[in-house]
Chains A and B, each alone.
Chain A
Amino acid sequence: MITAVRMPESAEAAAEAAARGGRVMAGGTVVMAEVNTGPVADTELISLRHAGLSGITVNEGVARVGATTTFAELRSGLGFLSEAIRTLASPTIRNLATVGGNLFVPQPYGDFAVCLLALDATVEIAEGQETPIAEWNRRPGEIVTAVRFAVPREGTWFYHKAMRRKLNSAAIVTVAAVVDRDTVRVALGGVAPGPVRSPAAERVLRGQELTRDVLDAAGEAALADIDPRDDAYASAWYRRRVLPVHVRRAFQNEEA
């Protein structure tokens, strides 16, 4: 049972509170659902709502997105992410759910974490240090204050999510990618315990024109990098079966 909700008013105070224990909560879309529906191990919540961690700045092509920026705010702030964010939960949830919180939700949720992996983002921790997202593991007591990534050049960002409905459903397969002259990063969601890069697909795509044959080959190659699971949305078998198609569609802007 929750006996107190802490409301630190700075990142430092939040980190101090988190170091003493308790469950960190940003938008509440995951934590409050747990509080409402079952016993929660922690007795204290640490709300980041007043910690001053929201806001978007873009400086020389690099975006810094504060951890408690909501997806509604991010969608209006960074246009290239608009389509990806449209596939993420519902507008009402996006008024609460935060960029930082998305790093902590279990698959098949957490599509924005997949985007951040494709963007090769860095995660900023309260003490000021930054870690590449691919190498980052949250340690107890740490507070994510922001994420930072280069905004891709026009036409080099690709995103596609397959889900059971056209809106507001968790991922069967999520594909996010940046493919530029000397940069190829493909990240996948829904197909492993966490978001994964696909080095095999990246090797196929590097230096190639994105023709149908190349994309088909990349999709097949991506199967080497996944470890899909069964859940309420799809079976592991189905995810494996459809992944190549959705990798291709990510680059062809086809309708799901």
Chain B
Amino acid sequence: MPSSVVNLTVNGREQEFLARPAESLLTSLRDRLGLMAAKRGCAQGSCGTCTVLVDDKPVMSCLVAVETIEAAEVRTLEGVADGERLDEVQQAFLDGFATQCGFCTAGMIMTAEALLAENPDPTHDEVVEAISGNVCRCTGYRAIVAAILDAAGRRK
């Protein structure tokens, strides 16, 4: 079962590592690169907590065979803050108590980052649709949607 060498740009840094056949991007991020923000939830694309950006698009990293995205640009929650300074989405989540247990937060924030990059002034319904693949099992959706709208306002 030969592993293969994979190259990715992760949060702006070039990374080279070995991956087993059909290894998921999520496994590579967590187990090879030590980036633990993206969580392993359902492993079948239902929960969204492993959401990261691949070439600027939010995808569930558990569903991506990492060797098939050689040379892609990947962005995870670790690449969002500027050192100790949180970005607007993170700060809005913090200020708006939009994290409860926190397990969905990394996926929620990456989905929100992609939404706001594409649509800087989303409506409430557009936010709801954008995060419809991200499950919050604390059911704290109201605060999460409000935080994303708040972040959009902070960026104006």
Q: What residues make up the interface of A, taking CB atoms closer than 8 Å to B? A: 1-5, 7, 25, 27-29, 32-33, 35-37, 45, 47, 49-50, 72, 86, 89-93, 95-96, 167-168
Closest Cβ of chain A: how far from B137's Cβ, in Å? 15
* From B2, B24, B58, B62, contact of A91 by CB (8 A): B58
B65 partner residues in chain A, CB cutoff 8 A: 5, 25, 28, 32, 35, 45, 47
CB-contact partner of A33 in B45, B69, B111, under 8 A: B45
**Contact pick for B21, options A2, A33, A90, A168, CB 8 Å:** A2
**Are the C-beta atoms of A95 and B129 separated by less than 8 Å?**
no
Closest chain-A Cβ to B28's Cβ sits at a distance in Å of 13
Inter-chain contact B48/A92, CB cutoff 8 Å: yes
Residue in contact with B133 in the complex, picked from A4, A7, A25, A90, CB distance below 8 Å: A90
Contacting pair A5 B58 (CB below 8 A):
no
Which one of A4, A32, A72, A90 lies within 8 Å of B64 (CB-CB)?
A32
Best-buried of B22, B43, B67, B129 by chain A (most CB within 10 Å): B22
| A36–B129 CB distance below 8 A | no
A5 touches B129 (CB 8 A): no
Query: Which 6 residue pairs across A and B have the least CB separation, nearest first?
Result: A90-B133, A33-B44, A2-B22, A36-B43, A167-B132, A92-B133
Residue B68 lies at the interface, judged by CB distance under 8 Å to chain A: yes
Residue of A nearest to B51 (CB): A92
Residue of B nearest to A94 (CB): B133
Asked if residues B24 and A32 are in contact (CB atoms below 8 Å), the reply is yes
11 CB-based A-B contacts, threshold 8 Å: A3-B1, A3-B21, A4-B21, A5-B65, A5-B68, A7-B68, A28-B64, A33-B43, A36-B43, A49-B69, A92-B59
Q: How distant is the Cα of A89 from the Cα of B60 in the complex, in angstroms?
A: 12
B35 in contact (CB, < 8 A): no
Q: Which residue of B lies closest to A45 (CB)?
A: B22
Asked whether, in the complex, the Cβ of B63 is within 8 Å of the Cβ of A33, the reply is yes
Set of chain B residues within 8 Å of A49, measured between Cβ atoms = 68-69
Asked whether A96 lies within 8 Å of B1 as measured between CB atoms, the reply is: no
Interface size in chain B (residues, C-beta < 8 A): 28
What's the nearest-Cβ distance from chain B to residue A44, in Å?
8
Name which of A37, A91, A92, A95 has the most chain B CB atoms within 10 A of its CB: A92
**Cα–Cα, bound, A27→B45 (Å):** 12
- A residues in contact with B2, CB < 8 Å: 3-4
Q: Given the complex, which residues of A lie within 8 Å of B48, measured CB to CB? A: 90, 92
Task: Report how far A89 CA is from B63 CA in the complex, Å.
Answer: 14
Cβ–Cβ contact B63 & A28, under 8 A: yes
Within 8 A of A (CB), among B55-111: 57-60, 62-65, 67-69, 111
Say whether B68 contacts A86, CB under 8 Å.
no
Query: Which residues of the other chain, A, contact B64 by a CB distance below 8 angstroms?
Result: 28, 32, 96
* B128 CB–A CB distance under 8 Å: yes
Given contacts A5-B67, A5-B68, A90-B132, contact A95 B59 (CB under 8 A): yes
Residues in B neighbouring A32, C-beta threshold 8 A: 22, 24, 45, 62-65
- Verify if B143 is at the interface (C-beta below 8 Å from A): no
Which residue of B24, B60, B69 contacts A92 across the interface (Cβ within 8 Å)? Answer: B60
Partner of A29, one of B21, B45, B57: B45
